[in-house]
A and B are shown apart, each in its own frame.
Chain A
Amino acid sequence: MMPLTMMAVGTAASVKKVGGREETKRFLENLGFVQGAVVSVVSEMGGNVIVNVKDSRVAISRAMANKIIISM
């Protein structure tokens, strides 16, 4: 279990929990960040990440990526 920001580029993991503000949490869930969804990191820039989830790419800032908990 670790935050999404710790993932190395190119690796995949599954989502355990999404934290953070209610609104953002809902938005991320709607985008497919639900429990068990497989995510992989495409690119990383100063903590901001581009993540592959359910065949789409989502850019997430560091603060938010820190609140997505994943397990390898």
Chain B
Amino acid sequence: MSVKIALAGNPNSGKTTLFNALTGSSQHVGNWPGVTVEKKEGKIKGQADVRLVDLPGIYSLSPYTLEEVVARDYLTKERPDAIINIVDGSNIERNLYLTTQVMELGIPVIVALNMMDVVRKNGDIIDVKKLSAALGCEVVEISALRGTGVAEIAKKAAALASSGKQTPPQHTFNEVVEAALHTLADLLPADIKPEQKRWYAVKLFERDKKVLQSVSLTAKMEEIIGCTEETLEDDAESIITNERYEYISGLVRGCVRKKRKGLSVSDKIDRVVTNRFLALPIFAVVMFLVYYVSVTTVGGWATDWANDGLFGDGFHLFGVWIPGIPVLLGNVLEKLGTAEWLNSLILDGIVGGVGAVLGFVPQMLVLFIFLAFLEACGYMARIAFIMDRIFRKFGLSGKSFIPILIGTGCGVPGVMASRTIENDRDRKMTIITTTFIPCGAKLPIIALIAGALFDGAWWVSPSAYFVGIAAIIVSGIMLKKTKLFAGDPAPFVMELPAYHLPTAGNVLRSMWERGWSFIKKAGTIILLSTIVLWFLQGFGFEDGAFGMVEDLNNSVLANVGSVIAFLFAPLGWGDWKAAVAAVTGLIAKENVVGTFGILFGFAEVAEDGAEVWGTLAASYSALAAYSFLVFNLLCAPCFAAIGAIKREMNSAKWTWFAIGYQCIFAYVISLCIYQIGSVFAGGAFGIGTVVAIVLAAVLIYLIFRPNPYKETLSRRTQVRSVQA
């Protein structure tokens, strides 16, 4: 029979590392039902029939955060056969706080005392035998990072789970609280199992909302709690929290001998890195290095290789010429003697389309390595802290910065990274605004417009990032003043992990998880859409019959494009080619360049579309092209990112709101740029100009109007202070 073990522990306690070490590659990643909290499951290596469920990282089993509720519901309802509680030995007091709660559940527990290598290096000593006796469960010393003790914990946990031997909690609170808990336990309904009595007694004492839904508080119980609160002069929940920490402090004093050395290494680094004068310059240097390496040097070479070599003519490997995939496939197809339309579908449609997307993978992976490193070493959490002061001014929290940062690589993992933001409003706002920042796939559009219309001017690319950042700021300010998002951003409280050098394995795994979500989209949605697009542009009515068309202007795509083109006329690019290019951008943003290439009659274009520069410059004015660029940067992201938005919003209504907001915002900004810009460029003053000025005025009003919701709040506090 198979057994189920749950892995529980604090965030930053090395839980993910231990989970990876225990399960290896046999992992299944999904979501907990109904919520966007990641659920990982796997089989424990070397133990037959033992399933391990990774619970979200939590500090306690109170019902305040989504993660805590998920973990609690799983533990109390599914009741796994055993729990591995991972405890960070270098931060033992805070970690044992959760342990005391886990012990009360009435499920067999085994403690994995992690980071023992760090503890020893610091010269600290933990008396494991004493700790184990005091807690009432086995304690195994491990180092998940180095892999020591992992096999032992796997074996012992599996044995514990199959034996079903209980590990009753041994910790006690002060007499007054204990007396109350005992009386409560006796008053509990008879159907509660003896091993769960302690849990229910404590939770009822705390008046835990979730537990009260299943067990009601009788008048007698309420009286006992009220009495105890009066005696100890605190509310019941704080009493329990204090008692737990009180107990743990005593326990730690008895079992842990610390070698005090003043400031820890981590604190010394923080003194410099989060210093009020040095923090921003250091941050700027780190970001510059990350982007310099991943965009211009290593990442640039990798992308060139992928685009021009692997998916182009070919490349040299140690002096040997290796032909690219299109060349190889072309030869094979020629030998097979397949029909011309099939060749066209495979080479122009599928290889061209999917290849263009996959060409970004190397660059993106380089960027993700850096971001994974920054995350794993602990600097990412500091970035959130450093940026919080600035982001708070725009109604966002510092934690919103991490999704945006990752979004510069790809919007899909960017949107997914918004999960770490606990506050619902802040998270939704971050999801809506994250894709405003130019992602890797939007860079070719920028290169195309800059090259074709602006002579490769240096300022076009930075201006795109500026537009993205400005859009995030403006949206933050505007949305915060609407009823949907009113209220201050949640107070910033975040644990900062100790700085440490991550292992290569963990960094690569994290890079791969993010990169894979991008590759998957290339293999599925983009593959499908390139086939559809190829069909739409290759077929149509010509000479009264439906079939492959000679003239692209007769294709189905051209017809569809002409129907919707009028929508974009006010933005300055109302011809069907640009309209179609923008629509194909929904499939994947880099498609925009390829579409222009095809529509202007070039079979294949370089990443920056250098071949079409001339034609493009002849077709559009610089202003219209810039308006086109801005629209494509800000409008709804590609389907894959929209999918990510839908997953994270977990609501169709909010997904449509996000897409609608992005599209309308992009339209208004592009309209204002084109129409008002035209007047400055010496154009006529027309209806379009008036509309643009009115829209711009509305926008400015929405940004600078006093916050109607904040005002009522401060007025209310004023009234209260007057009454007081």
- Write the residues of chain A forming the contact surface with B, with a CB cutoff of 8 angstroms: 9, 20-21, 23-24, 26-32, 34-35, 37, 42-48, 50, 52-61, 63-64
Segment at the interface with A among B273-281, B285-293, B509-517: B273-281
- A30–B493 touching, CB < 8 Å: no
Give the contacting residue for B496; candidates A37, A58, A61; CB below 8 A. A58
In the bound complex, how far is the Cα of B498 from the Cα of A24, in angstroms?
A: 23
A10–B241 alpha-carbon span in the complex (Å)? 27
Instruction: Indicate whether B229 reaches chain A with its CB closer than 8 angstroms.
Output: no
Instruction: For the complex formed, measure the closest distance between the CB of A56 and the CB atoms of chain B, giving whole angstroms.
Output: 5
User: Can you list 12 A-B contacts (CB < 8 A)?
Assistant: A26-B237, A27-B65, A30-B241, A31-B493, A31-B495, A32-B245, A34-B245, A43-B271, A48-B385, A50-B274, A50-B385, A59-B496
Cβ contact of B492, chosen from A30, A53, A55, A60, cutoff 8 A? A60
Alpha-carbon separation in the docked complex, A42 to B388 (Å): 17
B270 at the interface (CB under 8 A from A): yes
Q: Are B493 and A64 in contact (CB under 8 A)?
A: yes
CA distance A27 to B494 in the complex (A): 10
Known: A27-B64, A46-B276, A52-B267. A32 touches B493 (CB 8 A): no
A residues in contact with B267, CB < 8 Å: 42, 52, 57
B520 contacts partner chain A, Cβ-Cβ < 8 Å: no
Complex alpha-carbon distance, A56 and B92, angstroms: 9
With contacts A30-B241, A45-B275 known, what are 12 further pairs, Cβ within 8 A?
A: A27-B64, A28-B493, A31-B493, A45-B276, A45-B386, A47-B389, A54-B91, A56-B94, A56-B495, A59-B382, A61-B392, A61-B491
Chain A contacts of B274 at CB under 8 A?
42-43, 45, 50
Per-residue A-contact encoding for B77-115, CB less than 8 Å = 1, 0 else: 000000000000011111001000000000000000000
In the assembled complex, how far is the CB of residue B356 from the closest CB belonging to chain A, in whole angstroms?
42
B interface residues, Cβ below 8 angstroms from A: 59-60, 62, 64-65, 90-94, 97, 237-238, 241-242, 245, 266-267, 270-271, 274-276, 279, 381-382, 384-386, 388-389, 392, 488, 490-496, 498
- Note all chain A residues with C-beta closer than 8 A to B93: 32, 54-55
Which B residues lie within 8 Å of A37 (CB)? Answer: 245
Instruction: Say whether B237 contacts A42, CB under 8 Å.
Output: no
- Shortest B324–chain A CB gap in Å is 49
B277 to A, closest residue via Cβ:
A45
Residues of chain A within 8 A of B384, CB atoms compared? 59
- Inside 8 A of B381's CB, which chain A residues have their CB? 59
Which secondary structure dominates chain B's binding surface? helix
Q: Nearest 5 CB-CB pairs, A to B?
A: A61-B492, A64-B491, A59-B385, A57-B496, A30-B60
In whole angstroms, what is the CA distance A28 to B392 when docked? 20
For A24, the closest partner residue in chain B by CB is: B491
Q: Roughly how many angstroms separate A29 CA and B275 CA in the complex, as a whole number? A: 26
Q: Are A45 and B271 in contact (CB under 8 A)?
A: no
A31, A34, A50, A63: the one contacting B491 at CB < 8 Å is: A63
Shortest Cβ distance from B498 into A: residue: A57
Min CB–CB distance B615 → chain A (angstroms) = 52
* Structural contact, B388 and A31, CB atoms closer than 8 A: no
With contacts A30-B241, A52-B267 known, is A46 near B492, CB below 8 A?
no
- Rounded to whole angstroms, the CA-CA distance of A50 and B386 in the bound complex is 10
B225 to chain A, nearest CB (A): 17
Complex formed: what's the CA distance from A61 to B399 in Å?
Answer: 12
Q: Shortest CB–CB separation between residue B714 and chain A, in angstroms?
A: 14
Q: How far is the CA of A60 from the CA of B242 in the complex (A)?
A: 21
Measured CA separation A10–B494 after assembly (Å): 20
Give Cα A26 to B68, complex, Å: 13
Contact B389 A23 (CB under 8 A): no
* Residues in A whose Cβ lies below 8 Å from that of B237: 26
Contacts of B276 in A (CB 8 A): 43-46
Which B residues are CB-close (under 8 A) to A56?
91, 94, 495-496
Chain A residues whose CB sits within 8 angstroms of the CB of B495 once the complex forms: 31, 56-59
Taking CB atoms, residues of chain B closer than 8 Å to A60 are 491-493
Contact A31 B270 (CB under 8 A): no
Chain B: minimal CB distance from A7 (Å): 15
Q: How far is the CB of B716 from chain A (nearest CB, A)?
A: 15
With known contacts A29-B238, A32-B93, A32-B97, A59–B64 Cβ distance under 8 A: no
Complex Cα spacing A31 to B241, Å: 10
Q: Which single member of A46, A50, A55, A59 contacts B94 (CB below 8 Å)?
A: A55
Contact A61 B97 (CB under 8 A): no
Residues of B within 8 A of A48 (CB): 385, 388-389, 492
Given contacts A20-B491, A54-B91, contact A31 B496 (CB under 8 A): no
Instruction: List the B residue with the shortest CB-CB distance to A59.
Output: B385
Is there contact, CB below 8 Å, between B385 and A31?
no
Give B196 Cβ to nearest chain A Cβ, in Å.
22
Residues of chain B lying within 8 A (CB to CB) of residue A21: 491
A17 to B271: give the CA distance in the assembly, Å: 27
- Measured CB to CB, the closest approach of chain A to B234, in angstroms, equals 8
Chain A residues lying within 8 Å of B389, measured Cβ to Cβ, are 45-48
Neighbour of A50 across the interface among B92, B241, B490, B496, CB < 8 A: B496
Residue of B nearest to A57 (CB): B496
Query: Shortest CB–CB separation between residue B399 and chain A, in angstroms?
Result: 10
Is A57 a contact of B266 with CB atoms below 8 Å? yes
Contacts of A9 in B (CB 8 A): 271
Q: Chain A: which residue is nearest B68 at the CB level?
A: A30
Tell me which of B64, B90, B491 has the highest count of chain A C-beta atoms within 10 A of its own C-beta. Answer: B491
Smallest distance from the beta carbon of A60 to chain B beta carbons, Å? 5
Interchain CA distance A26-B678 in the complex, whole Å:
56
* B64 partner residues in chain A, CB cutoff 8 A: 23, 26-27
Q: Contacts A59-B496, A61-B491 hold; do A50 and B270 have CB atoms under 8 A apart?
A: yes
A5 to chain B, nearest CB (A): 13
A47 to B91 Cα, complex, angstroms = 26
- Contact check, B496 vs A54: say whether CB atoms are below 8 A apart: no
B266: A residues at CB distance < 8 A: 57
Complex-state Cα separation, A59 to B389, whole angstroms: 12
Chain B residues closer than 8 Å to A26, beta-carbon distance: 62, 64, 237, 241
Taking CB atoms, residues of chain A closer than 8 Å to B65 are: 27
Taking the nearest CB of chain A, how far is it from the CB of B433, in angstroms? 20
Kindly provide the distance from the CB of B73 to the nearest chain A CB, expressed in whole angstroms. Answer: 18
Asked if A29 and B241 make an inter-chain contact with CB atoms under 8 angstroms apart, the answer reads: yes
Query: How far in angstroms is the closest Cβ of chain B from A36?
Result: 8
- Residues of chain B contacted by A59 (CB below 8 angstroms): 381-382, 384-385, 388, 492-496
User: Which of B381, B384, B492 has the largest count of A CB atoms less than 10 A from its CB?
Assistant: B492
